[in-house]
């Protein structure tokens, strides 16, 4: 039998391992807040860099010292509210009752979705329990060469009446990132990972390589499980298949900075495989799933880490 090592991500950590349905990640849970505002935002991944910051963690051994920290840059052009979605609680969970669309939608979005001929008004819908907002991106403001906007759903904080008033005010208008998040808070990142196509079990699950004289391949698993005469092979056995292009969520990512001017961090020739930043951007500590130019969704942390400071550290230098 070959020597095996523990798989990198765990063979049973994620199942099934198949491609995501959309390039836009789905958010399943939202934080509970008293403020009536959107509970998240979205932007396009630019790339990574590292910062020279002053460590402000009181429990750190390098407190007060200048340290190097890896960071991911996300460009965040303003979002626009396309519609208000009304929900009603039923035995089978919440169901969509109706949608109220904005009257001044962009042409790029009107070509992508089907808008009813008779548009409803907010005052006409009275029997509902919760509302959300359908927002869409404006990739035309960036230099990534994309025209079609992404459309997705965002939750709102606060009470029921406060949600309705907030949704009325932002319907059809631009929403800026500084109105939603602040420096130093923790975020939950939702993204679709980089697709790698069909890969074998060694790369896909991290199993060990068999000795060179083994039969039926050296990069295959040594055992297909206990033999009980079954026709099919158990799903727990590592086999070749799709790798990457999965939805993944990372909790408690530290927001280091919200910048207004892209000229502050733009290299002369632009970022590799991305270009120049033309909109507000954020710096998030650590790496984030997905390739460059992919849409990254982030929302308020649902389970905050107490070891992360609530204030952003002073940034001395951004090294590109």
318 and 264 inside one domain: yes
Residue 227 inside a domain? The answer is: no
Domain CATH for 124: 3.30.1430.10
Residue 146 contacts by C-beta under 8 Å, 6 or more apart in sequence?
139, 140, 293
pLDDT in tens, 246-279: 999 999 999 999 999 999 999 999 999 999 999 9
171 and 295 inside one domain: no
Residue 6 has pLDDT above 80, yes or no: no
69 and 197 inside one domain: yes
pLDDT at residue number 13: 78
For residues 108-113, give the mean pLDDT: 88
pLDDT in tens, 230-247: 677 888 889 999 999 999
Report how many domains make up the chain.
2
Percent over 70 (pLDDT), the chain: 95
185 and 66 inside one domain: yes
pLDDT in tens, 187-223: 999 999 999 999 999 999 999 999 999 988 999 998 8
Residue 1 has pLDDT above 50, yes or no: no
Residue 130 inside a domain? The answer is: yes
Q: What is the pTM of this model?
A: 0.92
What does residue 64 show for φ and ψ, rounded to 5 degrees? 85, -10
84 and 66 inside one domain: no
pLDDT in tens, 116-156: 888 888 888 888 999 999 999 999 999 999 999 999 999 99
12-26, 41-55, 178-192: which has the minimum mean pLDDT?
Answer: 12-26
Domain CATH for 41: 2.40.30.10
pLDDT band, very low/low/confident/very high, at 229 (cuts 50, 70, 90): low
Nearest to 141 by CA among 75, 190, 82, 192: 75
Residue 153 inside a domain? The answer is: yes
Average pLDDT, the chain: 92
Q: Which residues constitute the domain of residue 276?
A: 1-77+177-208+237-320
Residue 9 has pLDDT above 70, yes or no: no
pLDDT band, very low/low/confident/very high, at 5 (cuts 50, 70, 90): low
159 and 20 inside one domain: no
138 and 254 inside one domain: no
pLDDT in tens, 158-184: 999 999 999 999 999 999 999 999 999
pLDDT at residue number 240: 94
80 burial level (CB within 10 Å; 0-12, 13-18, 19+):
buried
194 and 293 inside one domain: yes
């Amino acid at each position: 039998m070959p020597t095996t090592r523990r798989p990198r991500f765990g063979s049973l950590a994620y199942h099934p391992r198949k491609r995501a349905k959309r390039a836009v990640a789905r958010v399943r849970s939202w934080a509970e807040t008293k403020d009536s505002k959107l509970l998240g935002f979205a932007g396009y991944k630019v790339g990574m860099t590292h910062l020279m910051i002053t460590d402000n963690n009181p429990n750190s051994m390098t407190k007060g010292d200048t340290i190097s920290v890896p960071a991911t840059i996300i460009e965040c052009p303003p979002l626009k509210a396309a519609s208000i979605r009304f929900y009603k609680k039923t035995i089978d969970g919440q169901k969509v009752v109706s949608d109220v669309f904005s009257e001044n939608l962009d042409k790029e979005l009107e070509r992508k979705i089907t808008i009813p001929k008779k548009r409803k008004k907010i005052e006409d819908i009275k029997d509902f329990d919760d509302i959300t907002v359908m927002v869409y991106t404006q990739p035309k403001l960036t230099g990534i060469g994309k025209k079609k906007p992404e459309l997705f759903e965002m939750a709102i904080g606060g009470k029921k009446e406060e949600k309705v008033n907030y949704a009325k005010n932002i319907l059809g208008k631009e929403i800026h990132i500084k109105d939603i998040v602040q420096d130093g808070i923790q975020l939950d990142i939702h993204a679709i990972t980089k697709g790698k196509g069909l890969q074998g079990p060694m790369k896909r699950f991290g199993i060990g390589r068999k000795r060179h004289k083994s039969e039926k391949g050296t990069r295959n698993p040594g055992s297909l499980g206990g033999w009980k005469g079954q026709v099919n092979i158990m799903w727990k056995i590592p086999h070749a298949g799709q790798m990457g292009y999965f939805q993944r969520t990372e909790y408690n990512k530290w927001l280091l900075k919200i910048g207004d001017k892209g000229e502050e961090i733009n290299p002369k020739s632009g970022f590799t495989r991305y270009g120049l930043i033309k909109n507000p951007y954020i710096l998030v500590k650590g790496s984030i799933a997905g390739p460059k130019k992919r849409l990254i969704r982030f929302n308020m942390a649902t389970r905050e880490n107490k070891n992360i400071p609530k204030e952003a550290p002073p940034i001395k230098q951004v090294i590109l």
